[in-house]
Amino acid sequence: MKLQHLPIFKLPSACPNHPTHNLVSSHKIPNYQTKPIFHLCLCTQSKASSFSSTDYPNGKELSPELYNESIRNYCKKGRIDKAISCLSKMEALGYQPNLLCYTSLIEALGSVGRTLEAEIIFQEMTSSGLRPKVSVFNALLKGFLGRGQLELANRVLVVMDELGSHKNQETYELFLDYYVNAGRLNDTWLTIGKMKREGYRLNSFVYSRVIGLYRDNGMWKKAMGIVGEIREMGLPPDRRIYNSIIDTFGKHGELDDALEVFDKMQEEGVKPDILTWNSLIRWHCKAGDLTKALELFTEMQEQGLYPDPKIFIAMISRLGEQGKWDLLKQNFENMKCRGYEASGAIYAVLVDIYGQYGRFQDAGHCISALKAEGIQLSPNIFCVLANAYAQQGLCEETLKVFQIMEAEGIEPNLIMLNVLINAFGIAGRHMEALSVYYHIVESGISPDVVTYTTLMKAFIRAKQFSQVAELYREMESAGCTPDRKAREMLRTAAMALEQRY
């Protein structure tokens, strides 16, 4: 399916077959074209399809128990479409899923951003008389908040109260994580205050997120004050807290302090993880200290950690800018010697994408080379490769990675689709970027803040400033809370319109 020719349909406010399935959420579409978007309710899928003997073991019909078990297993394996198909067959036979089955479906759909479908399953579950546990509500909250849909998440809390379901620590931590990522300092402290009043002990997760919030708001000295508070409480810093402190120092250019905390962390017996190393390498790359970045990269491998392809991009970009291709080649050889053939192959491919050798300017050849090395292609690898092509302005190759991913039977996730929007935006093809957005919503995936800001950036590049404000309003109406980047782009577009008129 060509994204630029996607059919656009109407989104119903409720399921026409089941009036009780009132959707909490809806997506209002910006006024770019006359046809809005349709989202298919699960219960409207055809249930009159015939069943062949291959649908059942030994040609026998499955029992309700086996249907429930099959759906749960499909969800665990990430085969969500298969689980939905199994649910349709089950309900066509008059069987009702049990509580565990509904819970598995909601959690699986929420985890991949298909929050509208998760919500429909939830409505079906409650209308059947089953009482959802707090874990089900948390699964919905995780899905909504992960997509920046705060308004919808707040409505989930209302339903929780109406059904007499009490919030637990995870519920509060989900909101806390969202508020920190959105830069909402007051809401963060209000949530922490509620947790204290409810008797929940503030753990390392909470403190690490608060440190991160101060860091992202430029208040790194206050972030360090939190560290003092932790010590006074006698709460031993764990890996989360150490990582937050290191990242705070790194972001504000205090690299010596970051390394001092890194040493202290190891002295206390806390082993650095991939996030620790990524942070140190990234900030040293950004500061231009490539010698130390490469030293840390080597040390990370000596400690037996598998290098993260995302870090390759940071290193390759900086080394490539300085023309230090010999160093890149040397690192590749060192990785092979240490037994990291898989990472080494990805690293080599990314080096070629970034322009030194030119062998992998074709995405098909690139992926074939990775397969030849015996590398298991994952969504993460596809996203990293697509992003590398997008950053180089190779839009057609980014699209090809997307198409190969689909051909491999891997469902493109929201991260990949956001990368595709960015690729079209960089190439000045803003209407195709918009078509990807339509594709996201039509697929039942809820756009997140990154989706909207990336699309806004595409329209700014195309000098379509009036559409930026519409996208901003659409982001708000969809329940996504605009971040600082979105607000800055809105101001940029407004200023450009003022100068024009």
Tens of each residue's pLDDT in the chain, 501 residues: 333 333 322 223 333 333 333 333 333 333 333 222 223 333 433 333 334 434 444 445 678 899 999 999 999 888 889 999 999 999 888 899 999 999 999 988 888 778 888 888 998 988 888 888 898 999 889 888 877 778 888 999 999 998 889 999 999 999 988 887 766 777 888 888 898 899 887 777 887 877 777 766 666 677 777 777 777 777 777 888 888 888 888 887 889 988 988 998 888 888 999 889 988 988 988 888 888 988 888 888 788 776 666 676 667 667 666 666 666 666 666 665 555 555 555 555 555 555 554 455 677 777 777 777 666 677 777 887 788 788 778 888 889 888 888 887 777 778 889 989 999 999 999 999 999 998 888 876 778 888 999 999 999 999 999 899 999 988 888 777 787 788 889 999 998 888 876
190: burial class by Cβ within 10 Å (0-12, 13-18, 19+)? middle
Q: How far apart are CA 55 and CA 92, in angstroms?
A: 14
Q: How far apart are CA 87 and CA 16, in angstroms?
A: 19
Q: How far apart are CA 116 and CA 368, in angstroms?
A: 36
Position 217: which residue type? Answer: N
Report DSSP state, residue 356: S
The answer to whether 147 and 25 have CB atoms below 8 angstroms apart is: no
The answer to whether 406 and 425 have CB atoms below 8 angstroms apart is: no
**10-33: b or e for each residue (b if 16 or more CB lie within 10 Å)?**
ebeeebeeeeebebbbbbebbebe
Residue 381, token pair as written in the block: 């690898």
Give the per-residue pLDDT at 432: 92
Q: How far apart are CA 471 and CA 483, in angstroms?
A: 13
Strand partners, 480: 149
